[in-house]
Amino acid sequence: LDQEAKQAAELHQAQLTKPPGSLGMLESLVVDLAAMQGTVFPRCDNVHISIFAADHGVACQGVSAFPQDVTAQMVLNFAQGGAAVAVLAKQMGANFEVINLGTVKPTMHPGIINQIIAEQSGDISQTAAMTEEQLLQGLQAGKQAVDRAIALKSKLFIAGEMGIANTTSATALLASLLELNAEDVTGPGTGVSGSRLEHKASIVAQALTLHQGINDPFELLRCLGGFEIVAMCGAYIRAAEKGLPVLVDGFISSASALLACKVNPEVRKWLLFGHCSAEPFHSKVLQELDVEPILMMGMRLGEGSGAAMAVSILRAACELHSSMATFSDAGVSNSGE
Amino acid sequence: LDQEAKQAAELHQAQLTKPPGSLGMLESLVVDLAAMQGTVFPRCDNVHISIFAADHGVACQGVSAFPQDVTAQMVLNFAQGGAAVAVLAKQMGANFEVINLGTVKPTMHPGIINQIIAEQSGDISQTAAMTEEQLLQGLQAGKQAVDRAIALKSKLFIAGEMGIANTTSATALLASLLELNAEDVTGPGTGVSGSRLEHKASIVAQALTLHQGINDPFELLRCLGGFEIVAMCGAYIRAAEKGLPVLVDGFISSASALLACKVNPEVRKWLLFGHCSAEPFHSKVLQELDVEPILMMGMRLGEGSGAAMAVSILRAACELHSSMATFSDAGVSNSGE
């Protein structure tokens, strides 16, 4: 982080025609961005959104409200511009790409990058999610997405995900990392409730029992992750290495983010968090990461949609910072003068 | 409200490619807008922002962190585009107007509508804020702003305010309406603390004692209001009469909104609330109005800035609603299929 740019941005904020602190989070966000982008006047004009999709073997356990085919169907829907995050990406003029890391039904479309690792990850309640080689392939796919973002001179990176049953995987990863019980943290995901939610929690518990005692974050990812969760983790690690600010989305993305921070605590400095999901476990995870999310609007869609919603807030923060008058410019008396 | 448009919007939402409810507040906001605008596909492209400014006699009691001259200075800063809400208005392409209802120092600028009622309202700790005629002038100024918005075919109205000491007036109004004690609800406003905050609370208490036992909302406004607070109340009443959706800003605006709802309970149906202010009393007032605010980012600037920040959220909600694919369009399986 660039401490000089950060201090210069703080000094500039203090001169703008408003009571100090009265723009709340808009002030801290722009100062954080200044430190990350290494400039007094950061911008979020050129946003890069990479959506990683993959199928999960654990879907066969009936943990989702939707059939597994929906992963591949939604990959197409992203590419065709019909999914929520695709609509938001278009509205904000972002670079938008969709990476299929492996779905049971293949997807062919000029807008899809097919980097197939396998047709799905292993059922984490019965076996490891993937091999070491598959783990490395997933991390590499994330790294490559960030490198593409940098080549396109993006100033902000968003990773999104799609994968039926991936809240099961993320819940298992986070419960393992935070040493919590499956029954206490398993949530509805796409919308399971009642006995189906209890069943989902029991599958998470089974996965935790099978893969207990793992401390290494990469080994956790290998056993309990999914290809898209691994790729986002790889992307966050790479973004921090290259100094590209990241806007994290919701629950699944936060699992990747927490794992990336376990791999390298420096990653945390490069992360902003777009929103707090309605998935109940998310707020606990944000607390663990010491995060104040930008938005709290009860969203729980994933896909990067919550982060995409927060881009307009960051852009406004940047615009206020660069375009508001200072007390001296405007001839406005400051407090105490 | 148009119940047919509302139901049609709800039906359309249910067909979009996402788990039902997963866009959280974005779904309810667009449905509310559909009911207000009387169309299945509402839009917030053409936003009208009217800033009402006025000086307050009670400023002489030392209740603000800023000198009274700042009101007029900021009126100029609005007109010159340097104030926060002016920057946001420009960024979103809103119709933006500034109405000076009376400042101790006059303001002359082609961008300012001077509708001077008096150079300031009366010191509410000593006397009534205004005469009945002044009250009517203030209400009329608000009504006229809404009529201009309608003439410009705006689909969303935002009122903002500027007036040194106006949190004192708003606190007194709201404490009176909600039957709360000054000491329990008086907050920092632009930034007073410690003994100055205690002093501010004692001035609010003095105003409440002087003007106790008033039930009529217009009489409350006359005794404890300010010209800008009155104008915003008049604007909200007129917007509801004409069926123009309103996006309410923060603490001061909510005082006007609650009073407008007391005058005519139908007003409530036309109000959306942009954010919850860091001014501590605001969250109580929002509860009273049964409001879930769109943003909670610790802002406490007023000027309409919090509402202006929320416009991008409403626009995204409208865009998602009109541009996302349906399950049948995209060939995506719905849950339970």
Q: Each residue of B197-248: pLDDT tens digit? A: 999 999 999 999 999 999 999 999 999 999 999 999 999 999 999 999 999 9
Exposed, middle or buried by CB within 10 Å (0-12, 13-18, 19+), for A37? buried
Q: Residue B336: its chain A contacts at CB < 8 A? A: 65
Instruction: Look at A66 and B335 and tell me if their CB atoms are within 8 Å.
Output: yes
Taking residues B313-322, report their average pLDDT. 98
Confidence of residue B337 (pLDDT cuts 50, 70, 90): very low
Residue range B3-38+322-330 in CATH 1.10.1610.10: yes
Q: Is pLDDT at B120 greater than 70 in this prediction?
A: yes
Q: So what's the pLDDT on residue B336? A: 58
Taking residues B324-334, report their average pLDDT. 93
Tell me, yes or no, if B127 comes closer than 8 A to chain A by beta carbon: no
Instruction: Look at A320 and B84 and tell me if their CB atoms are within 8 Å.
Output: yes
- Cβ within 8 Å of B, A 23-42: 23-26
Strand partners, A16: A326
ipTM passes above 0.90: yes
Helices (H), B191-272: 194-210, 217-224, 227-242, 251-263
| C-alpha span between A2 and A13 (Å, rounded) | 17
Amino acid identity for residue B84 in this structure: A
CA distances from B269 to A69, A253, B13, B35, B297 (A): 42, 37, 21, 10, 25
B303 catalytic, yes or no? yes
Percentage of chain B beyond pLDDT 90 is: 98
Residue with tokens 């599958």: A203
Which part of chain B is CATH 1.10.1610.10? 3-38+322-330
Type and span of the H or E element at A210? helix A194-210
Tokens of residue B207, six digits: 């105003």
Type and span of the H or E element at A251? helix A251-263
Tell me, yes or no, if A278 comes closer than 8 A to chain B by beta carbon: yes
Q: So what's the pLDDT on residue B212? A: 96
Q: Could you tell me if B298 and A24 are in contact, meaning their C-beta atoms sit under 8 angstroms apart?
A: yes
Q: Is pLDDT at A337 greater than 50 in this prediction?
A: no
Which part of chain B is CATH 3.40.50.10210? 47-317
CA distances from A26 to A7, A21, A37, A76, A85 (A): 16, 9, 16, 36, 23
CATH of A3-41+322-330, one of 3.40.50.300, 1.10.1740.110, 3.90.1010.10, 1.10.1610.10: 1.10.1610.10
pLDDT in tens, A167-184: 999 999 999 999 999 999
Taking residues A181-202, report their average pLDDT. 96
Q: What angle do CA B235, B236, B238 make, to 5 degrees?
A: 65
Q: Report chain B's mean pLDDT, rounded to a whole number.
A: 97
Tokens of residue A179, six digits: 């040493």
Residue B112, sorted as left (phi over 0), alpha (psi -120 to 50) or beta, turns out to be beta
Q: So what's the pLDDT on residue A335? A: 75
Q: Count of CB atoms within 10 A of residue A93's CB?
A: 10
Amino acid identity for residue A130 in this structure: M
Taking residues B138-156, report their average pLDDT. 98
Confidence of residue B28 (pLDDT cuts 50, 70, 90): very high
| C-alpha span between A7 and B140 (Å, rounded) | 47
HEC letters along A164-183: CCHHHHHHHHHHHHHCCCHH
Q: How far is A261 from chain B (nearest CA, A)?
A: 25
Q: So what's the pLDDT on residue A125? A: 98
Which part of chain A is CATH 1.10.1610.10? 3-41+322-330
Nearest Cα to A293, choosing from A275, A311, A316, A314?
A: A275
Instruction: Look at A22 and B324 and tell me if their CB atoms are within 8 Å.
Output: no
Alpha carbons within 13 A on the beta-carbon side of A251: 33
Q: Count of CB atoms within 10 A of residue B200's CB?
A: 27
Torsion of Cα atoms, A58 then A61 then A65 then A71, to 10°? 30
Q: Is pLDDT at A127 greater than 70 in this prediction?
A: yes
The dihedral sign for the CA sequence B1, B5, B6, B9: negative
pLDDT in tens, A148-161: 999 999 999 999 99
Instruction: Look at B19 and A66 and tell me if their CB atoms are within 8 Å.
Output: yes
Instruction: Look at A19 and B76 and tell me if their CB atoms are within 8 Å.
Output: no
pLDDT in tens, A249-273: 999 999 999 999 999 999 999 999 9
| C-alpha span between B305 and A194 (Å, rounded) | 43
Q: Which residues contact B66 (CB under 8 A, 6 or more apart)?
A: A19, A333, A334, A335, B164, B190
| C-alpha span between B259 and B219 (Å, rounded) | 11
Taking residues A81-92, report their average pLDDT. 98
Nearest Cα to B301, choosing from A19, A333, A61, A323?
A: A19
Taking residues A62-72, report their average pLDDT. 95
Among the partner-chain residues B88, B296, B316, the one whose CB lies closest to the CB of A91 is B316
Q: So what's the pLDDT on residue A334? A: 85
Residue with tokens 């000076």: B100
Tokens of residue B331, six digits: 């060939």
Taking residues A302-321, report their average pLDDT. 98
Tell me, yes or no, if A73 comes closer than 8 A to chain B by beta carbon: yes
Q: Is pLDDT at A197 greater than 80 in this prediction?
A: yes
Tell me, yes or no, if B220 comes closer than 8 A to chain A by beta carbon: no
Taking residues B279-291, report their average pLDDT. 94
Strand partners, B208: none
Q: So what's the pLDDT on residue A336? A: 58
Confidence of residue B334 (pLDDT cuts 50, 70, 90): confident
Residue range A47-317 in CATH 3.40.50.10210: yes
Q: Could you tell me if B183 and B275 are in contact, meaning their C-beta atoms sit under 8 angstroms apart?
A: no
